[in-house]
Amino acid sequence: MTRSLGILALVGALCLLASQAIAGAYDDFFKAIETDDDRSMTTLLFHGFDPNSVNPKGVPGLVLAVQGGSIKVVHLLLSQNKTNVEARTPQDESALMMAALNGYEDIAKALIAKGADVNKTGWAPLHYAATKGQLAIIKLLLDQSAYIDAESPNKSTPLMMAAMYGTFDAVKLLVDAGADVLLKNDLGLTALEFARQANRQDSEAYLLKMVEARRPKGAW
């Protein structure tokens, strides 16, 4: 009986140590992401830590690393076969969307090479690139067959995002590439009206010309 109790106590102690080690590794994983510490991350991954771990808010480590600009850790995570490049946040954001938003062309290329979805439903990477006027990313995504008139949940297109939040150059690039200037979202707004609301006068003037040129004759 005494021996059995001793074994149980030993097992309990080992379990406690294991749980403490896991908790410590979990904290170290996200600290390595925050500080772009590729050495510590290498050690964690070598000992089998899950590269797809999420923080308490449900955000995957890879998304956090891209979002925070931890470039060395991003490439290290992408070198792991187990890393899921399509892991999403609770808001359905992917690592490619963060790369598109921040203009990280090399990371976007690496993510796409690993299978990241350029045409995810809902908000797409192209929406995010257009929102910040990231021309190189817009070109990259279009070269990878991203749907130029992708619809967000409220049917807003990348062109609408560029018109309101992005740049004139992003608007022109999308239109030149074939974006439909006549599309409307669920509120009945076109890219022209987005530009007008945001007081983007150069984009507004350009889009007005494009609308007039593409509107069927006799239509208002």
Q: How confident is the model at residue 51 (pLDDT cuts 50, 70, 90)?
A: very high
pLDDT at 194 over 70: yes
Q: Domains, the chain, ranges and CATH? A: 1-117 (1.25.40.20), 118-220 (1.25.40.20)
Is the confidence at residue 202, as pLDDT, over 50? yes
Q: Do the Cβ atoms of 195 and 164 come closer than 8 Å? A: yes
**Does residue 184 carry a pLDDT above 80?**
yes
Q: Of the ranges 23-27, 39-43, 98-102, 213-217, which one carries the lowest mean pLDDT score? A: 213-217
Whether the CB-CB separation of 146 and 128 falls below 8 Å is answered with no
Going by pLDDT thresholds of 50, 70 and 90, the confidence category of residue 214 is confident
Instruction: Tell me the whole-structure pTM to 2 decimals.
Output: 0.87
Residue 60: phi, psi to the nearest 5? Answer: -65, 150
Three-class DSSP category at 54: strand
More confident residue, 210 or 22: 210
Q: What is the pLDDT of residue 215?
A: 73
Quick one: average pLDDT of 123-135? 98
Mean pLDDT along residues 149-173: 98
Indicate if the pLDDT at residue 146 is higher than 70. yes
Using the predicted structure, report yes or no on whether residue 217 has a pLDDT greater than 90: no
Q: What is the mean pLDDT of residues 26-42?
A: 97
pLDDT at 178 over 60: yes
The structure tokens 């921040």 sit at 102
Separation in Å, CA 49 to CA 21, 41, 63, 114, 155: 11, 9, 17, 20, 40
The mean pLDDT of 93-100, rounded to a whole number, is 98
